Amino acid sequence: MKNEYAISHWPDSKEIMEKLRVLANELPMYQIRRDRMNEYLEKYDKKFAKSKALAEKAKRKIPGGVQHNLAFNYPFPIAIAKAEGAYLYDIEGNEFIDFLQAGGPTVLGSNYKPVKEKLIEIIEECGPVTGLFHEYELKLAELVSSHIPSVELFRSLASGTESCMAAIRAARSFTDKKFIIKVGGAYHGWSDQMVFAMRIPGLGSFDSHGIPEGCYTYMQEFPPNDIDALKKLLDENEAKGGTAAVIVEPLGPESGTRPVHFDFNAKVRELCTKHNTLLIFDEVVTAFRVGLSGAQGFFNVKPDLTVFGKCIAGGYPAAGGVGGRKEIMETFTAGIQGLKKRAMVGGTLSANPLSCAAGYYAIKAIEETNAHMKAGNAGDRLTRGLQEIFKRYDLPFVAFNHGSICHMETGAAMLMELSNPKIFDQVGKRRKVMEELGAALTVEGIITLAGSRIYTSMADTNDVIDKALEGFDRVFKYFEQVKEN
Ligand SMILES: Cc1ncc(COP(=O)(O)O)c(C=O)c1O
């Protein structure tokens, strides 16, 4: 099958980074005009009254009243009852265009019927889990390997978080080296070590509550796109036992929020090879969304290990896995292995038949429908539309996309630089502005990821995108500069 990639063009990452730097650090904030925002909040209260009642009750039993990090949930979370194609419906039947896409796994659109029907058959036959080998484990491993040549062996796990954790463990076990280097600001799940330097480059252990410093002894970060800084770390580590692995999100940290220069991954590969250090691609978001052979196919760079999540279970639960070079992957071999080098992994629900079959049928369906390409076209159309809106209303906001992964930076709270003296005062304010945008968009029937990221799917036809753009237009029309900052 011909490899096609959903990324129709590679936006100039230097230009984007400069625009983002200016937006977050030099320009005043913009917010929705106060009278208009108050109208939105009143409407929110009325339109979603049943969600509000449920959210109030949830506060009594669930910490903070909500268990999902990806939506802003301001002023209160919306209770969703139904998901289908491009749309979500709340408990009162309100319809929303779904640009959250559960954080990325549903390239086919929500609740895709042909996959669901296959899974119902499997549940009927063996239920969701047995703890024993099932043929779909093999079918999924073969399918992943057929699309992604670097995956000689594949092991299913239950989340992206534990798969990243497993990958660095395998890297250390295989290489007998200790240091792991990541890009500052990248998200590789929430395991102890990976929380290091999360979200904002340079943060190191600053935001890692509940994790002892010692945990980070062998964790290092380098600034996005700074190949010289990576080279320096790798060189310095040589005298200290060496670097086990460099782990990167191939589009750039936070799914390309700070996009890589096009040749970044190839340069990292070169440095890793030189230092006998493993290269780990975290393709939790990108695999089967950017293309069937992942971001590594798009960049034509071969990692030693690849981390999977999200699409690997087609939007169904227990989505994770690691694949890669045979001799490294063999450290994951199950059962008692005597003194052989090992990387212990496990999980009651890992590799269950339901998740494996879900991944298998979803990837097959992506193959058959070219879903990633359709989702990518939708992302292009939406991004173009957003750029036009920002121009129309003379707003300094930045929209760019890599296929179906779209970024829409307005308050740009997470893009403030640590060296910016205003950061402590402004991060909260900028976040508030973004929360308000999230609430206004929700009233307009649009759900995004934290008001700044948008995932599109095959279900996002031109009509859906155009309808969404009308909603975005109604909100952005009323943005104005905040006077007193
Ligand atoms: C790049 C990346 N790696 C790892 C993870 C963690 O995956 P999970 O949420 O399945 O634990 C995520 C989740 O969003 C991610 O975006």
Q: What are the residue ranges spanned by the domains of the chain?
A: 13-110+370-481, 129-351
Ligand 1 centroid to 172 CA: how many Å? 21
C-beta neighbour count of 95 within 10 angstroms: 13
Residue type, 7: I
Our answer on whether the CB atom of 98 is closer than 6 Å to any ligand 1 atom is: no
Q: Give bridge partners of residue 245 from the DSSP assignment.
A: 180, 278
Using alpha carbons, select from 230, 333, 316, 258 the residue that is nearest to residue 24. 258
C-beta neighbour count of 130 within 10 angstroms: 10
Helix (H) or strand (E) segment spanning residue 320: strand 320-324
Q: Calculate Rg over the CA atoms of the chain.
A: 22
Phi/psi of residue 248, each to 5°? -135, 150
Ligand 1 centroid to 45 CA: how many Å? 32
Letter string b/e over residues 257-285, b meaning 16 or more CB atoms within 10 A of that residue's CB: bbbbbeebbebbbebbeebebbbbbbbbb
Ligand 1 centroid to 323 CA: how many Å? 16
Question: Best mutation site among 161, 168, 254, 407 for ligand 1, i.e. most ligand atoms within 8 A of its Cβ?
Answer: 161
pLDDT by position in tens, the chain (length 485): 667 999 999 999 999 999 999 999 999 999 999 999 999 999 999 999 999 999 999 999 999 999 988 888 999 999 999 999 999 999 999 999 999 999 999 999 999 999 999 999 999 999 999 999 999 999 999 999 999 999 999 999 999 999 999 999 999 999 999 999 999 999 999 999 999 999 889 888 887 889 998 999 999 999 999 999 999 999 999 999 999 999 999 999 999 999 999 999 999 999 999 999 999 999 999 999 999 999 999 999 999 999 999 999 999 999 999 999 999 999 998 666 665 788 999 999 999 999 999 999 999 999 999 999 999 999 999 999 999 999 999 999 999 999 999 999 999 888 888 888 888 888 899 999 999 999 999 999 999 998 899 999 999 999 999 999 999 999 999 999 998 65
Residue 189 CA, closest ligand 1 atom number: 6
Ligand 1 centroid to 250 CA: how many Å? 13
In this structure, what token pair is assigned to residue 129? 């889990």
Is-contact 416 24, C-beta < 8 A?
yes
CATH number of 129-351: 3.40.640.10
The single residue listed with the structure tokens 């169904």 is 316
Tell me which residue has its CA closest to atom 9 in ligand 1: 160
DSSP letter assigned to residue 284? T
CA distance 95 to 293: 34
In this structure, what token pair is assigned to residue 277? 């250090």
What would the DSSP string read from start to end of 75-123?
SSPPPEEEEEBTEEEETT--EEEE-SGGGTT-TT-BT-HHHHHHHHHHH
Fold: same for 13-110+370-481 and 129-351? no
State the pairing for strand pair 179-183/243-248.
parallel
Q: Say if residue 302 is exposed, middle or buried (CB neighbours under 10 Å; 0-12, 13-18, 19+).
A: middle
Residue 286 CA, closest ligand 1 atom number: 1
Our answer on whether the CB atom of 319 is closer than 6 Å to any ligand 1 atom is: yes
Tell me which residue has its CA closest to atom 13 in ligand 1: 189
Ligand 1 centroid to 283 CA: how many Å? 9
CATH number of 13-110+370-481: 3.90.1150.10
Our answer on whether the CB atom of 321 is closer than 6 Å to any ligand 1 atom is: no
Those residues whose C-beta lies under 8 Å from the C-beta of residue 327, and which sit 6 or more positions away, are 174
Our answer on whether the CB atom of 247 is closer than 6 Å to any ligand 1 atom is: no
Which of helix, strand or coil describes residue 323?
A: strand
What residues are annotated to the active site? 187, 282, 310
